[in-house]
Structure 1
Amino acid sequence: MTASFKPVSVAIGDLTAHPANVRSNSPETYDPENIAHLKASIAVLGLLQPLLVQKLDGKYAVLAGGRRHAALKDLVADKAAKGFTAKTKVDCRLVPEDCDVTTALSLAENITQAPMNAIDEFEAFALLIVTEN
């Protein structure tokens, strides 16, 4: 299947969890430190990767991007975070309502991402330090 998903902007308050998201952890059980790092990144750089959503019951259900969604909700709740409210729109890709491979899409997004190796990560941070001074 080759799919292209329509880009849409969705208010953070209109996002909800998707029942077909393959991560068994609910957003409440994500590692708080991990979400804090993602929240800080989004606050400074914006949402770098769109969420994959599907319209369900009048909301946009997050099929892939649950951690990003959790970080966005934290930003909305954080009164010190500037520019993030329930009405703030974020980039998403819309899966058609009649799509019958939602579990496969969620699984593909989650298992195809590989973490950086330690050397590449070290060199990237070192470059940031050099360019900031």
Structure 2
Amino acid sequence: MTRKKGGLNRGLGAFISDKNKVEEILKPSNELEIQELKLDDVEPREDQPRQAFDEESLKELANSISEYGVIQPIIVRKVGKKYEIVAGERRYRASKLANKDTIPAIIRELDDFEGENLSIIENIQREDLNPYDEAVAYKSIIDKYELTQEDLSKAIGKSRPYISNTIRLLRLDERVLEFLKSGQISYSIGRELLSITDNDEQYKRALEIMENKISVKAVAKAKKRKKRIKSPNIHLMEVEESFMDRLGTKVRINESQKVISINYYDNEDLQRIIEIIVGE
């Protein structure tokens, strides 16, 4: 039986939610805590959630570091003879690009659990995290800690549908995922492309969107035009909305076929929906 409510996943939620503790670790209490470490003695986490770093942005940060230095110290912990980055890999990479020998750092005594979770928090709460890395981070946290999407939603303060939709982006064709990684297509465009099940067609559509700079609104309108036009049943639309609000997923009622369709994203999501409907 899959463990969904063990101490570890509750600990993760409590750790993420303990903003005072996180703030205390990530920010220095005084300047004496900041040390200059040799860059050769510092290394990133192997399981860093963030995989893509915008090269142009890194160059800009490297230029700033060359002129003004690193303003905000990185957070590290001692692992063997090296210092493992807990927060601040982008500053570390930019410092290397700027040919710096040292970097300001705050050394914290953290166990594996605290070090990993701080790295997770620092990454998934970044505004510049691209949708691909965000999706990978959510999925890895859920898989590793055996969390439900609802658990993660409560822990990081983002809605369960948003987390589900973000993870679903990983189902895109690999070529389209590369566009998502590089920022050539947005989260919203990626969601629209998921409706195209044929990988080659999905890829061709992604190329067309990029080449013609088509907006997400235009993509959505084009998809709607392909559907059969008919007068909407306002009552059924309201019922659909009620179902979606209650179940937290897409629901469609086909009036002509007398069929109700409920979308689910994986077996865990299916079990969650069954529990809501059956009440067990």
TM-score range, shorter chain: 0.5 to 0.7
> Hey, what does 1:74 align to over in structure 2?
97
Following superposition, the deviation at residue 99 of structure 1 comes to 5.2
Q: Which has the greater radius of gyration?
A: 2
Contact (CA 8 Å) 1:39, 1:71: kept in 2 or not?
A: yes
Q: Given the superposition, is the C-alpha separation of residues 20 and 95 from structure 1 closer, same or farther in structure 2, using an over 3 Å criterion?
A: farther
- AA partner of residue 43 (structure 2): T
Higher relative contact order, chain-length normalized (CA < 8 Å, sep 6+): 1
Q: Pick the aligned partner of 1:43 from 51, 54, 66.
A: 66
Identity %: 26
Give the 3 Å change call, closer, same or farther, for CA 22–95 of structure 1 in structure 2. farther
The structural deviation recorded for 1:90 is: 2.1
Query: Do the aligned residues in 2 keep the contact of 1:18 with 1:61 (CA within 8 Å)?
Result: yes
User: 2:42 is matched by which residue type in structure 1?
Assistant: L
How far 1:114 sits from its partner (Å)? 4.4
Distance 1:30 1:113, change over 3 A: closer
Q: CA deviation at 1:19?
A: 2.8
Distance (Å, rounded) in 2 between the aligned partners of 1:109 and 1:43: 24
Aligned twin of 1:16? 43
How does 1:43-62 map onto structure 2 within 5 Å? Answer: 43-62=66-85
Instruction: Answer whether contact 1:47 1:90 (CA < 8 A) is retained.
Output: yes
Mapped contact 1:54–1:94 kept (Cα < 8 A): yes
Give the Cα–Cα distance (whole angstroms) in 1 for the partners of residues 46 and 93 of structure 2: 15
Paired with 2:92 and 2:105, the residues of 1 have a C-alpha distance of: 11
Partners of 2:120 and 2:56 lie apart in 1 by 24
User: Counterparts of 1:43 and 1:102 in 2: how far apart (Å)?
Assistant: 29
Contact 1:53 1:63 in 2 (8 A): yes
Alpha-carbon offset, residue 36 of structure 1: 0.2
Query: Please, which runs of 5 or more residues in structure 2 have no aligned partner?
Result: 1-17, 129-280
1:21–1:62: 8 Å Cα contact kept in structure 2?
A: no
Q: Return the letter of the residue paired with 2:61.
A: L
SS at match of 2:36: strand
TM-score under structure 2 length normalisation: 0.32
Higher strand share: 1
Q: Distance in 2 between matches of 1:46 and 1:93?
A: 16
Partner of 1:94: 107
Alpha-carbon distance in 2 for matches of 1:70, 1:10:
14
Structure 1 residues 21 and 7, CA, compared in 2 at 3 Å: closer, same or farther? Answer: farther
Structure 1 length normalisation: TM-score? Answer: 0.63
The number of equivalent residue pairs is 101
